[in-house]
């Protein structure tokens, strides 16, 4: 009878150790999931920042090209004005 009790307690002890190990594994698994979700969140925030940066870059290029276009149109008007002044022989100085 004592051997049976001893075996029973050893079995319970083993069972509790297995439960403890199982809970530790679950805890580790949840920590890994948490880390994975935080990593995905950081990745999506980084992609969002990257796309906003690209958008700003393209808007800056667009503004730059619009500015160049305006500058060349102003040069064109300036040269046409000079041509007109020379045609009617008005001194430009």
Distances (CA, A) of 58 to 27, 62, 63, 77, 78: 46, 6, 9, 28, 30
Cβ atoms of 52 and 60 within 8 Å: the answer is no
Helix (H) or strand (E) holding 65: helix 2-87
The whole-angstrom separation of Cα 89 and Cα 43 is 68
What pLDDT was estimated at residue 1? 80
Indicate the DSSP class of residue 91: -
Q: What is the pLDDT of residues 27-58, one digit of tens each?
A: 999 999 999 999 999 999 999 999 999 999 99
Structure tokens belonging to residue 21: 């190990």
What pTM was computed for the model?
0.52
What pLDDT was estimated at residue 46? 97
């Amino acid at each position: 009878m004592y051997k049976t009790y001893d075996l029973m307690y050893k079995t319970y002890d083993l069972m509790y150790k297995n439960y403890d190990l199982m809970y530790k594994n679950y805890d580790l698994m949840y920590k890994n999931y948490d880390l994975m979700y935080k990593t995905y969140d950081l990745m999506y925030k980084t992609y969002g920042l990257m796309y906003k940066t690209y958008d700003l870059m393209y808007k800056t290029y667009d503004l730059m090209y619009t500015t160049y276009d305006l500058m060349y149109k102003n040069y064109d008007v300036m040269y046409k004005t000079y041509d007109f002044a020379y045609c009617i022989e008005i001194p430009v100085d």
